[in-house]
Every structure is written in C-alpha cells, then in structure tokens.
Amino acid sequence: MASKETLIVDCDTGIDDALALLYLLRDPDVDIRAVTTVFGNIDAVTAADNTLRVLELAGRPDIPVAIGARDNWLGNAHFAPYVHGADGLGNTDLPAPTATPVAEPAAELIVRLARENPGTLHLLAVGPLTNLATAVLLDPELPRLVKHVTIMGGAIRHPGNATPAAEANISNDPEAARTVLTAGWPITLVPLDATMSERITEGHQRRLRATGTPVTAFAAQMLDQYFDFYERNVFGDRSAACHDPLAAAIAVGDVSPVLAPVVAVDVETGQGPGRGATVADVRGQYRNFPAQDDAHVRVVLETGGDFAELLADRLCSDPAPTRRVA
C-alpha cells in the first residue's frame, strides 16, 4: 500500500513533539523516513535522545535520527524546561534507547533524502526552522525537490507565546524562519491561531491512563507537566494546546482546515519588539483583494476544534504494523 505521506519530521522533541510522533507512528499509512532534531524546547542532542526513546517505545527504533542545529544563526538559543520539564519529556524518565543518532548532520540528511526522492518527501517542521534554512543554503534547489512543507509556527491574528508579537518556534530563529518561509516551496503554516483552539484536557488524559498501554501511560504522564504549565500561565485550567500534533494531523490529511487562505508570509528580523513576528495579509478572508505576489503559504487560521478527540483515539488504538525503512 502506498503511504499517504512520506515524511521527514524536524523537531525539538518536547512534550507536544513526542505526542505528534506517537500520533504519526500509530498510522500504518504514514512513512517516516527520518527524524531530525534542532534546539528549542530542549537542546538538539537531548532532543535526539528523546526522539530515540519515543521511537523505541513505539516499536520503531529503525527510523534514523539525525542531530541538527544546536544554536540559532545569531548564537543565542534559549530552551524551555519550565514548559517541558528538565528532560523535555515532562520528567517521565522514559528508558534510555538502544539506538543512537546517525553521524550525518540533519541538514545534510534532508538534502540527501530530497535528492534521492525528488517530489516525494513532505517536511514536517515543529521546532525552530534552523535545520530547514541550513538545508536551503546547502542546496538552493531543495524547494523544487520537496513535495510540501508543513510548519507549526507563527501567529497571524493571535498574540505570540514567546513575546506579544512572536510565536516560540519562529522567535527562536527569525532569520532562519524568514529564509524558509520565503524560499518558494509550497508551505502549510499552522500557527497559534489554530493550535491554541485545539485543547487536550484532563478527560483525554484520564482516557489515556485507563487504556493502560506503555504509549498511553507515557503520554498521560507527560501531560501532568504540560497541564501544570498551562494551568499556571495560560488557560487557568488543566488543559493544553495541541500545537505539534495538530500540525502533524494536517500534514497527513487527517484534519482539514476550516479557514486557510494562501498568502505571502514574511518574518520580522529587526531587533525591536516585533522581532519574530510572522507578517501576512489575511484581509482577503473578509473581501476580495488582488492576488498577492509570491502567495505560496497556506495559513491555517481555523480548524474544527475537536482534534484532541482524534489524538486520543489514535493513541489509544492498537499499534500500527511495523514499517521498515528500505
């Protein structure tokens, strides 16, 4: 059976990245060719170790994991242990993996696989965009070789979560984000506008615990840390936004956006209060505007609001058949 999508997942494996990976790994029709890691929620090396732990838990230690950018282009990366825990996985003490990262750096792996599989690979980026931007610099033809890019990042009509103007993945490396978003390849951007409206709750967590598999027990335990942060700092109750899992579901066609105009998107790279803001003209949602030059980014502004049910259903389902990389 042909895969519905063949993915490289580029991530900074914290709690929501882990949930996104588990969501994808539960689908036998999704082919993850590789996972590349970047700084962000946690440092890139720990993100790779976390990824290997999650892959092993899901029965897929065969998927190669490559370490990427350890810092942003300006050399001032920040991490988020207050959100994701000291280990990036909600302090869950998931067993150490038996596999190790591949020697090939992330950007080189992305370029190589794209050259070997022209028009086939879908890049799903749910962390800072430094690896993808570096890959574009390594091979300016990369946007022509890649089928599609789905990015969790940005805030269009919604306030940022790193600053009033900027979402964390974009804010962590605005120069890299601008390089990626203006490179000309077909992009779906899944910003806070959509992800903050898709919330996983204690009810979903109870269902995960009751299912009692190693995967659901791990997911439920991680959510304790996530809910702690969101209760104190964001929603005021024990629920959390489905950032990376929603982007994963949109990438593989499981969720269809309700509102998603195709526009040009740029990133503010100045040093003022707007640094890291994603800038897009979405006034066309209200009335017709002339076509925008270089409009190649589908910006997901609204989804149905019931994705957490799908996420819980997927994680509580029977394990997917093992797919081995050729």
Give catalytic residue positions.
12, 243
**Run of H or E including 132:** helix 130-138
| 111-116 LR contacts (CB < 8 Å, sep 24+) | 111/135, 111/138, 111/139, 111/142, 113/8, 113/33, 113/34, 114/139, 114/142, 114/145, 114/146, 115/139, 115/145
| Amino acid at residue number 43 | D
Question: Where do we find the tokens 């076509």?
Answer: 291
Bridge partners, 239 (sequence order): 201
- Nearest Cα neighbor of 139 from 117, 179, 107, 105 is 107
Largest CA distance in the chain: 56
Q: Residue 281: which residues within 8 A CB-CB, separation 6 or more? A: 263, 264, 289, 292
Question: Where do we find the tokens 């579901």?
Answer: 249
| Start-end of H helices in 197-270 | 202-211, 214-233, 243-251
Q: Cβ(186)–Cβ(296) under 8 Å?
A: yes
C-alpha to C-alpha distances, 240 to 84, 87, 196, 292, nearest whole angstrom: 12, 19, 8, 35
Q: Cβ(107)–Cβ(145) under 8 Å?
A: no
Mutual orientation of helices 307-315 and 202-211 as an angle, nearest 10°? 10
